[in-house]
Amino acid sequence: MDTLNLTGIRAYGYVGALPEEQTLGQWFEVDLTLWLDLAPAGASDRLDDTYDYVAIVQAVQTLIRTIRCQLIETLAAEIAQRVLASDQVAKVAQVRVRLTKLTPPIPDFAGRVAVEITRSRQPV
């Protein structure tokens, strides 16, 4: 199985357990790894035979901007669901989502907080 990696997808959103996070918002960054068969695209050199990563980048950014929830785990799960639910020609068998809160409001903490989940397409 092949992989397609999308890194550094950023958007400003309102996800967090603290009231300030829900009203002031903050920056999030997403890295995606998609497992799918890229052989058809490699053979044809046609965009129609691969996964349209422009569309998924835009979908992830829109989701971050519009979702309202408390946990980054919830946002990561929603992103994974969107990727797996896509009806594009190149079907994603599995996705790994790494969602990073770039500036968590934790006193005396200059680091980042991230969650990483892996989800697979359910057999039909």
Is the per-residue pLDDT at 124 higher than 90?
no
* Tokens 């991230």 belong to residue: 114
pLDDT of residue 77: 98
pLDDT of residue 56: 93
Q: What percent of the chain has pLDDT over 90?
A: 83
Cα dist from 58 to 10, 11, 22, 121, whole Å: 10, 10, 22, 21
Query: What is the assigned CATH class of domain 2-120?
Result: alpha beta
Query: Terminus-to-terminus CA distance in the chain, angstroms?
Result: 19
Domain residue ranges of the chain, discontinuous segments joined by +:
2-120
* pLDDT tens for each residue of 100-115: 999 999 999 999 999 9
Q: How many CB atoms lie within 10 A of CB 121?
A: 16
Give catalytic status of residue 91 as yes or no. no
Q: Which of 48, 101, 106, 118 is catalytic?
A: 101
* pLDDT tens for each residue of 20-60: 999 999 999 999 999 999 999 999 999 888 888 999 999 99
